[in-house]
Structure 1
Amino acid sequence: MSKVGILTHSFADAYNGRLDRIFGGGLERYIFNLCGVIREMGAEPEVHQLSFQGDFDRAVEGIRVKGYACTHSVRETFGRMSREAEGRLIYSSQMWTMLDYRPGSLGICHGINWDEPRIDGAPKEAVRQAIQHALSELTMIVTVDSHFLTYCRSACRYDDREKVRLIPNAVDTDIFAPAGERANYGELRVLFPRRISVERGIVPMMLAADRLLDAYPQAVIEFAGETIGGDPLCEAFRIWLDRHPEQDRLLHRVYPFGQVAEAYRRADIAVIPSVFSEGTSYACLEALSCGIPVVASQVGGLNDLILNGYNGLLVHPGEQELADAIGRLIEDADLRLRMGARARETALAFGEDEWRAKWRAVLTTFLAHTHAAV
Structure 2
Amino acid sequence: MKVFLLYPYFFSPDGKQKKIGGVETYIESLADVIVGLGLTPIVCQFSEKPFERSYLNYVVRGYGVKTIKKLYKSIESDIDKHSDLIIFVSDLWSIRVKDVKTLSIQHGIYWDIPRNQGPYILYYCQRVKQVLKALIDFNKTRYSVCVDYNFYNWYKTFNVKLKCKKHWIIPNFANQCISKSELNQKITSRSSRINIIFARRFYEFRGVNIFTEAMLRIMQEYPCVNVTFAGEGPGEKYIRDCFAAYENRFSVIKYAPSESFEVHKKFDIAVVPTIGSEGTSLSLLEAMGAGCIAISTPVGGLSNIIIDEYNGYITMPASDDLYMTIKKAIDNINNTQIVMHAVDSVKSSFSKEKWSIAWRNVLKYIMQAE
SS in structure 2 opposite 1:147?
helix
C-alpha distance in 2, partners of 1:354/1:196? 31
C-alpha distance in 1, partners of 2:235/2:198? 16
C-alpha distance in 2, partners of 1:316/1:347? 23
SS in structure 1 opposite 2:203?
coil
Q: Is contact 1:109–1:144 with CA below 8 Å preserved after alignment?
A: yes
CA distance 1:20–1:135, change in 2 (3 Å): closer
Q: Is contact 2:7–2:45 with CA below 8 Å preserved after alignment?
A: yes
- Identity among equivalent positions (%) equals 26
Out of 227, 230, 235, the position equivalent to 1:221 is 227
C-alpha distance in 1, partners of 2:266/2:88? 37
The residue type paired with residue 233 of structure 1 is G
Residue aligning to 1:316: 316
Q: Deviations over 1:32-82 (max 9, x none)?
A: 10010011111221222345x6655434444433345675xxxxx111111
Q: Deviations over 1:211-246 (max 9, x none)?
A: 222221111111222x25xxx434544x437x7111
TM-score, normalised by the number of residues in structure 1: 0.84
Give the drift of 1:275: 0.6
The residue type paired with residue 222 of structure 2 is Y
C-alpha distance in 2, partners of 1:196/1:18? 25
C-alpha distance in 2, partners of 1:89/1:47? 10
Residue aligning to 2:265: 265
SS in structure 1 opposite 2:248?
helix
CA distance 1:253–1:150, change in 2 (3 Å): same
Alignment pair present for 1:343 and 2:349: no
SS in structure 2 opposite 1:204?
helix
The residue type paired with residue 3 of structure 1 is K
Extract unaligned runs of 5+ from structure 1: 72-76
Q: Deviations over 1:101-145 (max 9, x none)?
A: 464200101111112354733233323333333444311110010
Q: Is contact 2:202–2:208 with CA below 8 Å preserved after alignment?
A: yes
C-alpha distance in 2, partners of 1:122/1:54? 38
Residue aligning to 1:74: none
The residue type paired with residue 256 of structure 1 is A
Residue aligning to 1:128: 131
Extract unaligned runs of 5+ from structure 2: 80-84, 118-122
Alignment pair present for 1:155 and 2:161: no
Residue aligning to 2:217: 211
C-alpha distance in 2, partners of 1:300/1:144? 10
Residue aligning to 2:359: 359
Residue aligning to 2:86: 89
Alignment pair present for 1:181 and 2:185: yes
Q: Deviations over 1:154-208 (max 9, x none)?
A: 1347652333211111223446875443456532100112222222211112222
CA distance 1:179–1:68, change in 2 (3 Å): farther
Alignment of 1:252-331 (within 5 A): 252-331=252-331
Out of 40, 44, 49, the position equivalent to 2:40 is 44
CA distance 1:368–1:176, change in 2 (3 Å): farther
